Chain A
Amino acid sequence: MEAIQDIWNYLEEVPDPEIPVISVVDLGVVRDIQLLDDGGLIVTITPTYSGCPAMNEIQMGIRLKLLEYGYRHVQIQEQLSPAWTTDWLSESGREKMQAYGIAPPIAAVGPEADLGRHPRGLFQEEHGVHCPQCGSQETKVVSQFGSTACKALYQCENCLEPFDYFKCHPQ
């Protein structure tokens, strides 16, 4: 339906409050849009992390954006299942993140990654995360918990810059 595609396009203009270069659509947070007979809208979103404080701002951002385009009657529904996964991050979202200085998630370092060194997967040496500054693969994790719930703190051993890594949340 033409109108629904328009709404998706409008929501591409709603930035993630924490990483303003990507939209809530890039993030995979917007799951569904329904257009009602009376012209009202139901937008279904899914939270990234349970405690993510940006979700309130995201809801507000969606409402204000849709108001800009003349949609006053908007219901926002939260859908917990299926749980949000970094698999839903769009390709362009990843590229924009990288350009902004945040390393996008790669499957190899998620909690399910099997690097085979420890029976419980502890003390993994995280390989494969590229430094967004210099591109080197010589990076190490400083802490699995970074500036926000979704990010880990890394350091590049080549250019020595610290950077955020968007944590992998596989399906």
Chain B
Amino acid sequence: MRVLDKNQLALRDFVLHQADNTLILAQRLCAWCGHGPVLEQDIALSNIALDLLGQAHHYYDYAANLTGGGATADTLAMLRPERAYKNLLLVELPNGDFGQTVARQFFFDAYHVLFLEQLNKHAQDLMLRAIAEKSLKEAKYHLRWSSEWMIRLGDGTDESHRRMQNAVDLLLPYVGEFFLLADYQEELIAAGVLADPRDFQSSWSAHVEEILSEARLEANLQQAPMQHGGKQGIHTEHMGYLLTELQYMQRTYPGLNW
């Protein structure tokens, strides 16, 4: 194992955090494959998942590089214990109904686009900038999809509206974690490697409020109680079940190759 200094550790942890965000969200979206409400949206969810998984691959490759000692994208993605995953709690939450999946996606996409724009513009790390530049184009398509479905369903029938409002109420406590910084984020910001994501918090809130309003949905972004811990590896009960499925093959057949 390579011995990393404080800054290198922080960078590696930040890269893992974003790798885990995209992997875990892709894993959730994959579960819709073959179960979507209509064929075109089944395909849409699978395509979004594929984009995210591709992005995860780039981040994991980089994290493996930073870790050294025989670490690969596969070992990082598939063999770490639960508390080593640093994804946001939001992305590990269950799919629920289609509306809940849309709401989770929308909250994440609105953040993801701003996050990537900031990385692309301000990150001092060349690899992160390159991955962000590439991922941003895809994230913009995702945001368009999830925004449109928030509005179609929120401003839809009585039933779709009710389900969307329930989804928003359920997920609201998890959106604060975007802007609660982990140690590794604070260290990288202090070292001038990254810009502070709180710089775009008001843009995020304004955008979300705009879409929620057009979707006739209510959410008090300022006053909601905020769950957190995912970035530090303290996950919800759902994560254990998710990892059981994700890691089953690799743990049952170590070293397996297609």
Interface string of A21-62 (1 = CB under 8 A from B): 000000000000000000000000001011111000000000
On whether the beta carbons of B43 and A146 are closer than 8 Å, the reply is yes
Most buried by B among A49, A53, A123, A148: A49
- Is B43 a contact of A50 with CB atoms below 8 Å? no
**Could you tell me the distance in whole angstroms from the C-beta of A95 to the nearest C-beta in chain B?**
24
Task: Kindly list chain B residues whose C-beta atoms are within 8 Å of the C-beta of A75.
Answer: none
- Interface centre among A84, A122, A167, by most chain B C-beta atoms within 10 angstroms, is A122
Question: Cβ of B138 < 8 Å from any Cβ of A?
Answer: yes
Distance A53 CA – B47 CA, assembled complex (angstroms): 11
C-alpha spacing A149/B54, complex, angstroms: 11
Q: Verify if B218 is at the interface (C-beta below 8 Å from A).
A: no
B interface residue count range (under 10 / 10 to 19 / 20 to 34 / 35 or more): 35 or more
A68 to B57, CA, bound (A): 31
- Tell whether, in the assembled complex, residue B55 and residue A83 are in contact, meaning their CB atoms are under 8 Å apart: no
Secondary structure dominating the interface of A: loop
- The reply to whether the CB of B183 lies closer than 8 angstroms to some CB of chain A is no
**Given the contacts A120-B211, A122-B147, A153-B40, A111 and B51 also touching, CB distance less than 8 Å:** no
Q: In the complex, what distance in Å separates the CA atom of A149 from the CA atom of B127?
A: 23
If A122-B148, A145-B145 touch, whether A80 touches B50 (CB-CB below 8 Å) is no
Q: B144 at interface (Cβ–Cβ under 8 A)?
A: yes
Which residues of chain B are within 8 angstroms of A53 by Cβ–Cβ distance? 50
CB-CB < 8 A to B137: which residues of A?
Answer: 83, 111, 169
How many residues belonging to A are interface residues under a CB distance threshold of 8 Å?
28
Let me know if A143 is at the binding interface, CB within 8 A.
yes
Asked if A123 meets B148 with Cβ closer than 8 Å, knowing A49-B138, A51-B50, A111-B140, the reply is: yes
Interface residues of A in 109-136 (CB under 8 A from B): 111, 119-123
Q: Are A82 and B50 in contact (CB under 8 A)?
A: no
Nearest Cβ in chain B — how far from A33, in angstroms? Answer: 21
> Which residues does chain B contribute within 8 Å of A122, judged by CB atoms?
144, 147-148, 151
Q: Is B41 an interface residue (CB 8 A)?
A: yes
> A143 — nearest CB in chain B belongs to which residue?
B40
Contact B52 A51 (CB under 8 A): yes
Query: By CB atoms of chain B within 10 A, which of A52, A80, A123, A148 has the most?
Result: A80
Task: Identify the stretch in B8-16, B79-87, B128-136 within 8 Å (CB) of chain A at 4 or more residues.
Answer: B128-136
- Judging by beta carbons under 8 Å apart, are A149 and B40 in contact? no
Contact pick for A51, options B55, B145, B207, CB 8 Å = B55
Residue B53 CB within 8 A of the other chain: yes
Residues in A whose Cβ lies below 8 Å from that of B46: 145
Query: Which residues of chain A are within 8 angstroms of B57 by Cβ–Cβ distance?
Result: 50-51
Q: Which 9 A-B pairs have the closest CB atoms?
A: A51-B54, A50-B54, A81-B130, A145-B44, A80-B130, A51-B50, A143-B40, A145-B47, A111-B140
User: Interface on A for B, CB 8 Å cutoff?
Assistant: 47, 49-53, 80-84, 111, 119-123, 142-149, 153, 167, 169
Residues of B within 8 A of A (CB): 40-41, 43-44, 46-48, 50-55, 57-58, 126-127, 129-131, 133-135, 137-138, 140-141, 144-145, 147-148, 151, 207, 210-211
Q: Pull 14 A–B residue pairs with CB atoms less than 8 Å apart, ordered by A.
A: A50-B135, A51-B54, A53-B50, A80-B131, A81-B129, A83-B134, A111-B140, A111-B144, A120-B147, A120-B207, A120-B210, A144-B144, A145-B46, A149-B54
15 more contacts with CB within 8 A, not counting A51-B53, A51-B55, are A50-B55, A50-B138, A51-B50, A52-B54, A80-B58, A81-B133, A119-B210, A122-B151, A143-B43, A145-B40, A147-B43, A149-B47, A149-B51, A149-B54, A167-B141
